[in-house]
Structure 1
């Protein structure tokens, strides 16, 4: 027994030593690269193309570039006097949704499994594959999505960005019996892990997967959405030239029919993006700012529900309505409707 313990500790120490050496080498290389870049290498177009071909963008700390100086953010983000003028967050409706509409489906969302279900012997997960302790669609967000689907009973849902939301959304759609669920994602399709590859009774329901960049789809594709249908957006969250965020907010949202319900994920309104997200995780998202500009004094759209808003204003009601949640503060869904 002692020999086994000694061998185990020896292995751990060797791994720790190797990891420490690797970490030291990486830091040394990073310092060396920084010295070289100070001599102007970052400004050479050929170097930019070389680094880009290897999967990296190296840019100066400069106000002309979109990556902020995190040292400044440490001092002044978020601004304490930040305001959100020109947007009616409709607190009465949000409270009604939270305390009157959502509880009608409590017996359904309270049945969500806490952890990942055990696969059948066939290797296929059971129909109810969404579980609360996933790493992406957390807090009250999946519960609100479930309620939106079950209460408004959309005939069509177009989802941009597949993932745990697909598991949840297709499951709720199956309960409606008539809801068509279309999922768009360039990197992953939920049907590839199922017995066949066009339409699958998996992930809790029928999913039609489109493995494509959403910004390359024709605008008319989104005109099929009618009153009470849902456009569920979980985008790259970054404003970039010819990118998905600009396409969706500037070209798609304005042409949607009255009554279409729209979701955007990782939206902190009425607050700013968190300091932790920017300074520690280094996600420099900008989608929220374009959405805020779209909403200001816009008579064609109304706010329906914001996770951050209700958690700030009605936290006790949130806990009463959605009691089986471990991480409330991870919530970041934002719902609007064309009107």
Structure 2
């Protein structure tokens, strides 16, 4: 049994944490209601049922029977994709130089926006984002899909860049981000509460070498989707030298078996894998799950906290 809080400070911290969980529950309830509504509508207008060979939604019985081969992992699971392994390992050594200055607490704490034990953007992802920011020292960052990752950026910006990094957040459901901001944040950042597809391509022309386009999308390629907009409009329009982050990408560009079996028919990773095959315009800079799978010893030595939650981020650079 946990001891009861005794100080007023402990009580206020618990109240704050309770209120945060209540806000998150409210957001999840709204999302669940919307998903249920969409599911009912989808069944009404389906051309073929889920699992049919004309459906993008997989047959989970088939996935289960073929799981051993479908989810197999080895170094050669991404033919045609240049993983730039030596360059990634070199960058890991560079990142290790920033590790001792990590500013993030484990749980929600006063004066911090980000904390590791959040439900969406854990240890490895946040540590790599922090390290990339320290390494690149960008002037501008545009984030597509905002929340706890935004908090990691804002904490790093405040502590190491004196808020010089110009941040734009594109998030059609900004309630979570707004609940995590500190006083004064709203005046320093740009928040576009709109779907990405409604944001003109010209908005991204301000990004120059070492600036960042941070993407945490809906993860679904379909007609009119944000994912299609990213691959078919945004990426080709970026200036050389811009860095791009994709979230929920796991080596070898497959989704975790548990996610697939619970019905997540995401497909962004497959599109990204195809995009990177034989691609000499974009290069992989850092792929944390790939490195953690095959070089766990280096993480244990240099950045051990990353192994507490391997995350799922890939960083690219447009080189020409």
TM-score, normalization: structure 2? 0.79
Asked if 1:85 is matched to 2:56, the reply is no
**Pairwise CA distance, 1:80:** 4.0
When residues 298 and 208 of structure 1 are mapped into structure 2, their CA distance, relative to the original with a 3 A threshold, is same
Alignment of 1:21-60 (within 5 A): 56-58=41-43, 59=46, 60=49
Asked if 1:214 is matched to 2:196, the reply is yes
**Pairwise CA distance, 1:66:** 1.5
Aligned residues: 272
How far apart are the structure 2 equivalents of 1:274 and 1:54? Answer: 23
How far apart are the structure 2 equivalents of 1:195 and 1:312? Answer: 36
1:159-202: CA deviation from partner (whole Å, max 9, x where unpaired) = 00111001001111222232101111001153477688xxx437
**2:100 aligned residue:** 107
How far apart are the structure 2 equivalents of 1:268 and 1:250? Answer: 22
- Partner SS for 2:189: strand
How far apart are the structure 2 equivalents of 1:326 and 1:86? Answer: 28
- Partner SS for 1:269: coil
How far apart are the structure 1 equivalents of 2:80 and 2:39? Answer: 44
**1:138 aligned residue:** 122
**1:248 aligned residue:** 230
**Pairwise CA distance, 1:79:** 5.3
Answer yes or no: is the 8 Å Cα contact 2:253–2:270 preserved in 1. Answer: no
**1:20 aligned residue:** none
Answer yes or no: is the 8 Å Cα contact 1:74–1:275 preserved in 2. Answer: no
How far apart are the structure 1 equivalents of 2:40 and 2:101? Answer: 44
**Pairwise CA distance, 1:151:** 1.0
Q: Which moved more, 1:298-307 or 1:80-89?
A: 80-89
User: For 1:176, which of 123, 141, 161 is the aligned residue?
Assistant: 161
**Pairwise CA distance, 1:96:** 1.1
Answer yes or no: is the 8 Å Cα contact 1:150–1:173 preserved in 2. Answer: no
CA RMSD of aligned residues (A): 2.3
For structure 1, the 5+ residue unaligned runs are 1-50, 118-125
TM-score, normalization: structure 1? 0.75
**2:133 aligned residue:** 149
Q: Which has the higher contact order (CA 8 A, sep 6+)?
A: 2
**1:320 aligned residue:** 301
Answer yes or no: is the 8 Å Cα contact 1:112–1:131 preserved in 2. Answer: yes
For the pair shown, the structure with the greater C-alpha radius of gyration is: 1
How far apart are the structure 2 equivalents of 1:230 and 1:325? Answer: 22
For structure 2, the 5+ residue unaligned runs are 1-35
When residues 53 and 180 of structure 1 are mapped into structure 2, their CA distance, relative to the original with a 3 A threshold, is closer
Asked if 1:332 is matched to 2:298, the reply is no
**1:120 aligned residue:** none
**2:272 aligned residue:** 291
